[in-house]
Amino acid sequence: MRLQLNKNIIFAYPGDLATLTGGYIYNAKIITGLHKSGINITTLSLGEGFPCPTHETREKAVKLLCDAAQNSTLIVDGLALGILPKAAEIIAKNGRLIALVHHPLALETGINAQDAAKFKASEILALSFAHQVIVTSPATAKILANEYGVTQNRLHIALPGVEPVIVSTVSNSTTPQLLSVAAISQRKGFDVLVAALGTLRSLEWHLTVAGDLTRSPDVSAQLLQQVQDLGLSDRITFLGSVSKTEISSLYAKSDIFVLASHYEGYGMAYAEALAHGLPVIGTTGGAIPDVVPNDAGILVKPNEVKPLADALGLLIQDTTVRASFAVGAQKASRNLPCWSDAVNIFKKIIGDVK
């Protein structure tokens, strides 16, 4: 029996829901979970290019949202909603608006101060119209409460879940296997990681990067050139986008997970690494410290090459330390949330919004 809420439930998002990045995986899991839990939910794609779409795409997205708003509850991904305050106002007047914020647009790496200020002002205005706001980490909740004017009675945290996995111990390779899982973009700090590895050429290691190379073509081109200039082409493998099954296999074949993100609204790849029992090397950017405990890896300040290189050198060379962090990762994995927890939070909020 389907749950009857006497309202239309629409989940609106930018781009393609099948995109293999954390935010899209989160959205897809929530939509699937809501369907399975008895809620009839319709999906609505708002087009490509957000948060900087063409004028045509932006105007079309506003029309789609406004047309859908009448007597409906709209869950709108913040990647689009943050730059569509006009649509947010109309939705709030004609229906019910639930905003989903993975991380504030102004905190994206690589944008200038002027654009960051515009993003922030636009997102503050858009969120002011939301009946409820869902975020994916305590760190993002704190930012929205302190800097974006989102009151606590409207603010909810729905942590991403992880799938149960069979924990791997070691790769069984004589060369330590490093793994990064993320689409190539400036925020993920791959240039910092490659620079750090460039100082460790005397050590045995190999890095595999699984993530879309086409998402930020200029960043990808610069990164590949950096790898070539440092003479690391035979030690770093870029796989591009891979399937969920392939990613799981990569985790199982690796010894260390490393990702030098400048900022994460949550950090699903870090959680997946913990679920697979891998020691983690990351940064303190955003919500990453909420995900990775001290006994599961080493976190350094974002955009700092030497501390990252020191952490890598330690785990590459010292198998005892590496094993200790792996034990910490396995321990942490037992406390990771399930997707059903997040779905239940969405379900309750949908039911409560009047």
pTM equals 0.89
Q: What is the pLDDT of residue 168?
A: 56
- Could you state, in order of their start, the residue ranges of all structural domains in the chain? 8-161+337-352, 177-333
Side chain identity, residue 231: G
Q: Is the pLDDT of residue 174 over 90?
A: no
Percentage of the chain exceeding pLDDT 70 = 96
Q: Do domains 8-161+337-352 and 177-333 have the same CATH topology?
A: yes
Q: What is the pLDDT of residue 245?
A: 87
Q: What are phi and psi of 62, to 5 degrees?
A: -60, -45
Q: What is the pLDDT of residues 277-315, one digit of tens each?
A: 999 999 999 999 999 999 999 999 999 999 999 999 999
Per-residue pLDDT band for 235 (boundaries 50, 70, 90) equals: very high
- CATH homologous superfamily of 8-161+337-352: Glycogen Phosphorylase B; (3.40.50.2000)
Contact call for residues 18 and 241 (beta carbons, < 8 A): no
Average the pLDDT over each of 160-164, 253-257, 278-282 and give the range with the smallest value. Answer: 160-164
Q: What is the pLDDT of residues 66-94, one digit of tens each?
A: 999 988 999 999 999 999 999 999 999 99
Tokens of 15: 């781009």
For the 177-333 domain, the top CATH level (class) is alpha beta
- Residue 164 CA to residue 288 CA, distance in Å, equals 21
